[in-house]
Amino acid sequence: MISSPGGIRPCVIGAFAGHARARFPQLSPAAACFYAVRDMPYALDGAHDATGLLEQGRGDCLAKSELLSLALRQLGARTRFVRWPYLLPEVVPEVAALPARLDVHRAVHVQVGASWVLADATHHPGLRGTALAVNDWDGSHDTGPGYPPAGPMIIGEYPRDRVASTCEEATSWTANCPAEILTRWRSAYIAWLRQHE
């Protein structure tokens, strides 16, 4: 059987979309898929792709944006990824010890009529009331960004050099950061996220 771009069989994505529609029958199919992805806990120590997210039920923005994109495509929508630099949130004191806070976020653009709208399903409802934005979506208008942009949005895969340079900025400081400082921050952030699952 032919696999989707994420390496998942279309029947698996179709089943996910079907469960989402059954769970949220009052919503449009696209919005139902959004909420099914959004409600999975955001986790740094979870999945990093759609396959892992379906298996583990928790994951990061890469996993959540990939699953949402695949589910929306299964419904016949056109999607593309959108990325932007952001600053790691100050939700744990350990972030202050990091030499920099720049990271790159990824979400989904969905074509609705002649427009592209942002559908950022990154943060689950347990994070509502914290510094992390929890979005709702009606299926036709932009959500807010999961993180405030700290630079320009990069639409789709191109220009690849711009995507690469933005990612390099974010990864260069982590490569040079003392391992114990990075580990201390990561452990604290993971524990904080788990408290909000």
Let me know: does 151 contact 64? Beta carbons within 8 Å: no
Query: For position 2, what pLDDT does the model report?
Result: 32
129: left (phi over 0), alpha (psi -120 to 50) or beta: left
What torsion, rounded to 10 degrees, do the Cα atoms 106, 103, 195, 81 define?
0
CA-nearest of 138, 134, 156 to 147 is 134
Question: Rounded to whole angstroms, how far apart are CA atoms 42 and 156?
Answer: 23
Q: How many residues does the chain have?
A: 197
Q: Are strands 115-119 and 102-112 parallel, antiparallel or unpaired?
A: antiparallel
pLDDT digits (tens, 9 = 90+) for 49-65: 999 999 999 999 999 99
Beta strands in the chain (DSSP E): 42-47, 59, 79-87, 102-112, 115-119, 154-155
What pLDDT is attached to residue 164?
67
Residues of the chain with pLDDT under 50: 1-5
d(CA 158, CA 84): 13
What's the topology of domain 10-195? C8orf32 fold (3.10.620)
Domain residue limits, the chain: 10-195
Predicted pLDDT of residue 9: 81
Q: Report pLDDT for 78.
A: 97
pLDDT for residue 154: 85
Secondary structure class of 194 (helix, strand, coil): helix
Q: What is the 3 state secondary structure string of 156-170?
A: CCCCHHHHHHHHHHH
Give the pLDDT of residue 1.
28
